[in-house]
Amino acid sequence: MTDEFNLLQPQPLLIVISGPSGVGKDTVLQRMKERELPFHFVVTATTRPKRPNEVHGKDYFFVSKDEFARMIDEDELIEYAIVYSDYKGIPKQQVREAMSSGKDVVMRIDVQGAETVRKLAPDAVLVFITVEDEEELERRLRERKTETSAELALRIATARKELLRVEAFDYVVINRDFHLDETVDAIRAIIAGEHLRVHPRKVSL
């Protein structure tokens, strides 16, 4: 098989979907799943309590802090971080198995976690999801009504700082209200374009 022919064989990509709280990362991934896009969606492990309508093993792996500590000690996570007093992390084995199957792998991670993945896998594709402005972000966070006033204030302050980290990413996509499918289409276009690169990304973990 020639080198030229090898270039035509798409290599699996590691796609990181990130952005501040309130921009709709979970909703975007849910729509991607509903549309049955051909990606492997990595499930994050977290110690935070399960919210109504969330499903263990589908939305997150909900684990105790003791179990999470064991996963850290045994080096089972690609990255992990404390996010609003709870731990979140990405299991290594899940990602490796998905990439070995030849599928593109999509991970939903907070902003600091995305930057950690960049250090471990420089060829990962980092997509920053955001909203039109800070006022819109604050409105969405307030309307969720899932935190106390103190927790909400912390999320808003953190989100504002995270908006400044967009330069660390490859792409930025604005997730406008009532235009969810446009957001998903933009992400699909990014991934399609990446597969057309003459010099493809080579991801290893």
Output the pLDDT for position 1. 47
**From 35, 139, 144, 176, the catalytic residue:** 144
Indicate whether 125 belongs to any domain.
yes
- Residue 155 known to be catalytic: yes
Q: What are the mean pLDDT values of the chain's consecutive 10-residue runs (205 residues total)?
A: 55 94 92 92 92 88 95 93 85 86 90 90 96 90 82 89 94 95 97 92 81
Indicate whether 200 belongs to any domain.
no
**CA distances for 205 relative to 87, 103, 111, angstroms:** 21, 15, 19
Indicate whether 65 belongs to any domain.
yes
Q: Which domain holds residue 146?
A: 10-194
- Residue 51 known to be catalytic: yes
**From 35, 51, 160, 176, the catalytic residue:** 51
CATH of the domain at 129: 3.40.50.300
Output the pLDDT for position 11. 85
Tally of domains within the chain: 1
Least Cα distance to 174 among 116, 133, 121 occurs for 133
Indicate whether 14 belongs to any domain.
yes
Indicate whether 45 belongs to any domain.
yes
pTM: 0.86
